[in-house]
Amino acid sequence: MSWLPADFVHPVHVPVPGTALHLRPIREADTAIDYPAVMGSRERLWEIFGPAWGWPAETMTYEADRVDLLRHEKEIAAHQSFNYALLNEDETALLGCVYIDPPERTGADGEISWWVVDELAGGADERALDVLVPEWIAADWPFRQPRLIGRDLTWQEWLALPEAPQD
């Protein structure tokens, strides 16, 4: 059984209200704007995602990022998991990401997390994304028990949960 209904169509453009930003599925072609965003905020991102995902490694190369984005693009096409890039209006800057994944831990039917680059951290654009994501997940995704990791519970609390059975 899939984690999403067979007829589910994922959103392809999601405006972030009150900003000039939007979300869209990430692509391998975004490497040129993803790599500087990730590595420019690497220390803070490692504090958030490092213990759970081992990402982003201090030694991550441009090529490794390209391969990772290609994997994400293929996973999106197969509806295995989703990585949405947070982009400026003309898509010349990647400013964060939203991840929508099948549950790795028990107690949820989808696991959602997100980040913004250091320059947006704590500002109005991050607050707008923080408001949008839970509303968007509730309105446009077929989850009954979504878990917002880093919001509903800490990453440490998430890591302590039992692993979800894999199909």
Residue-level pLDDT at 166: 78
What is the C-alpha separation between 39 and 43, in angstroms, rounded? 8
pLDDT in tens, the chain (167 residues): 479 999 999 999 999 999 999 999 999 999 999 999 999 999 999 999 999 999 999 999 999 999 999 999 999 999 999 999 999 999 999 999 999 999 999 999 999 999 999 999 999 999 999 999 999 999 999 999 999 999 999 999 999 999 998 76
Domains of the chain by start residue, with CATH: 14-160 (3.40.630.30)
Residue-level pLDDT at 165: 87
Residue-level pLDDT at 167: 63
- pTM for the full model? 0.97
Backbone angles phi, psi at 129, to 5 degrees: -65, -40
Residue-level pLDDT at 129: 98
